[in-house]
Amino acid sequence: MERMKTREVAIGTKKIGGNNPILIQSMCNTFTSDADATVRQILALEEAGCDIIRVAVPDEQAADALGSIKSRIHIPLVADIHFDHRLAIRSIENGADKIRINPGNIGGEKALEAVVEAAAAKGIPIRVGVNSGSLEKKYLEAYGGRVTAQGLVESALEKAELIAAMGYDRLVISIKSSNVALCIRAHELIRNRTDIPLHVGITEAGTLKEGSIKSAAGLGAILSRGIGDTVRVSLTGDVLEEVRTAQLILRSLGLMEGGIEMVSCPTCGRTSIDLVRLADQVYELIHQPEYRHLNIRVACMGCVVNGPGEAREADLGICGGRGEGLIIRKGQIVKKVREELLLSAFKEELDGFKTL
């Protein structure tokens, strides 16, 4: 489906909307006031391919740490503020490249006006973030006393219009829900209602497995409808997995180039090596930062039934046998090694791709 037409919005050194690529975001789970720990986490996220990073600003110490954090990282820094508009203004003064607020809980129209003025003075965008968990009463009551896709959309558009009426249009909208079907519906509804870029994601999606599945289902449906300018996968767990999962989703949908795609067989009664362990080790290996710039497909297959075929399709593959296995590179068998040497033989070949 044709991509939704949105206006271009700059966030620090990056741009979203228009014809720009869909960028990946994550959010730190360190205390922002602990600048050193936050910077460490952001640098690791940068290495993993995160394009934009958001941090929570729950107090003045966090707002005051932003300058120090920003000076030591290389990707745009977004400040996430609730309830206290003074923290938003302080974050802007301290160099935030964008702020995320829910105008419905920031302290009223006067407070919102002050935040918009501060953002306009620095020219930084504001994300209007509406979540199903904090939808205002008015939009619950208007649609049967419960959270609905219509309620999320109307709430977000009303806030965006309010800010636009204050004379500021550098906006991004997010309408998130932990209910996947509702979230998809909300994005279908907003598609033809605005040209403001959309930050998309399934909020509070869950732990690594559940959250990844819900995010893949939700973002898969939303993005394949041509909707979305920047994505965040939210997982209860390691933030690096958020970036990896987002990359896998974008790559699976053909929306992103780069990175290593892995295929592996589910194993069956023909598998005669410990393929589950080997596949986990290969997964960890290919996600090391040193391989980040590769754009290849690898296969980890259990036996000769589908193994050689998949491995041939891949740039680099392992095909298991009985206590041994083949390393196949670009369709050619390059090595036959004992099971315990498969990983190191695979790594050796993988390293060869780095210099191509």
CB of 262 to ligand SF4, least distance (A): 14
Choice between 181 and 305, CB closer to ligand SF4? 305
Q: Name the DSSP class of 273.
A: S
Total count of residues recorded for the chain: 356
Partnered with residue 352 across adjacent β-strands are: none
Choice between 12 and 308, CB closer to ligand SF4? 308
CB of 1 to ligand SF4, least distance (A): 34
Strands 324-329 and 316-320 come out as: antiparallel
CB of 284 to ligand SF4, least distance (A): 20
Choice between 75 and 301, CB closer to ligand SF4? 301
- Using CB under 6 A as the criterion, which residues of the chain lie in contact with ligand SF4 when the complex forms? 265-268, 270-271, 301-303, 305-307
Q: Which long-range contacts (CB under 8 A, 24 or more apart) does 77-81 make?
A: 77/12, 77/42, 77/53, 78/11, 78/25, 78/52, 78/53, 78/54, 78/127, 79/54, 79/55, 80/27, 80/54, 80/55, 80/56, 81/57, 81/106
Choice between 28 and 319, CB closer to ligand SF4? 319
Compute the distance between CA of residue 28 and CA of residue 36 in angstroms, rounded to an integer: 12
CB of 302 to ligand SF4, least distance (A): 3
- Nearest residue to ligand SF4, scored by beta-carbon proximity: 302
Choice between 131 and 271, CB closer to ligand SF4? 271
Compute the distance between CA of residue 199 and CA of residue 234 in angstroms, rounded to an integer: 12
Choice between 182 and 301, CB closer to ligand SF4? 301
Choice between 121 and 305, CB closer to ligand SF4? 305
CB of 265 to ligand SF4, least distance (A): 3
CB of 272 to ligand SF4, least distance (A): 8
How far, in whole angstroms, is CA 215 from its chain's centroid? 10
Residue 262 near residue 281 (C-beta atoms within 8 A): no
CB of 128 to ligand SF4, least distance (A): 47
Q: Where are the alpha helices (DSSP H) in the chain?
A: 35-48, 60-70, 85-93, 109-122, 137-141, 149-165, 180-190, 208-224, 239-252, 275-286, 307-313, 342-354
